[in-house]
């Protein structure tokens, strides 16, 4: 996730102070990716160093405001224009856990799969409930639409994980049936 580009996108709408950027980022992403305010200020410092943002005075409460520069606008436009690279598969703790569980003594891999599948089914149910709740409010504001897009992405990932876990269980059963008893 690019916090850097997310902050640039928020600053395109006008000067903001750090904690407001944090709040708006979390609101736009449906609270899915909480940010530490320290992360925001560290990122703003790097963006300032790289000439993409500048200090733009203070608000009435004395908070430092940051504004987008021309360089920042150019970088933001380039980010929106290029695809997100998926060069290699991300390290996935579940895939690593299952791969190692296959040969771990005393581990019932099917139980590990079933535990995870049950957990994901419950999570999926909650995500679908949240989506239904959001849709019942007839999303019209861009922030509501953005939240729905994020929720739907999470739902798709949860559904894909459940399908993959079902595939793992089938593969494990098939291997068990094909492996001769010791």
- Lowest-confidence pick of 12-21, 81-90, 100-109: 81-90
pLDDT in tens, 108-144: 999 999 999 999 999 999 999 999 988 888 767 777 7
How does residue 181 score in pLDDT terms, banded at 50, 70 and 90? low
Residue 2 is classified by DSSP as -
Per-residue confidence (pLDDT) for residue 118, from 0 to 100: 97
DSSP string across 29-61: TTTSS---HHHHHHHHHHHHHTTSEEEEEE-TT
Task: Give residue 84's region: left, alpha or beta (phi > 0; psi -120 to 50).
Answer: beta
- Lowest-confidence pick of 99-103, 110-114, 170-174, 175-179: 175-179
pLDDT in tens, 45-80: 999 999 999 999 999 999 999 999 999 999 999 999
SS3 64: strand
CA distance 180 to 182: 6
CA distance 17 to 36: 14
Per-residue confidence (pLDDT) for residue 88, from 0 to 100: 75
Per-residue confidence (pLDDT) for residue 145, from 0 to 100: 82
pTM score: 0.68
Per-residue confidence (pLDDT) for residue 34, from 0 to 100: 83
124 is written with which tokens? 């999926």
Q: What is the mean pLDDT of residues 88-96?
A: 84
Cα–chain center distance at 66: 25
State the Cα angle at 117 between 105 and 29, rounded to 5°. 125
127 is written with which tokens? 């995500």
Write out the H or E segment, with its range, that includes residue 68: strand 64-68
CB neighbours of residue 64 within 10 Å: 14
- What angle do the packed helices 37-49 and 18-28 form, to 10 degrees? 110
The residue whose two tokens read 């089938």 is 170
């Amino acid at each position: 996730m690019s916090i850097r580009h997310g902050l640039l996108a928020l600053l395109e709408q006008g000067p903001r102070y750090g904690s407001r950027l944090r709040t708006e980022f979390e609101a736009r992403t449906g609270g899915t990716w909480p940010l530490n305010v320290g992360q925001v200020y560290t990122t703003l410092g790097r963006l300032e160093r790289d000439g993409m943002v500048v200090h733009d005075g203070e608000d009435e409460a004395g908070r430092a405001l940051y504004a987008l520069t021309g360089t920042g606008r150019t970088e933001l436009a380039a980010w929106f224009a290029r695809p997100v690279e998926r060069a290699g598969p991300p390290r996935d703790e579940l895939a690593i856990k299952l791969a190692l569980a296959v040969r771990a003594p005393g581990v019932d891999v099917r139980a590990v799969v079933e535990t995870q599948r049950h957990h994901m089914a419950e999570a999926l149910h909650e995500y679908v409930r949240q989506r239904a709740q959001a849709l019942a409010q007839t999303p019209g504001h861009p922030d509501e639409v953005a939240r729905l897009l994020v929720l739907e992405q999470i739902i798709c990932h949860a559904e894909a994980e459940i399908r993959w876990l079902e595939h793992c269980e089938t593969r494990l059963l098939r291997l068990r049936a094909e492996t001769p008893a010791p």
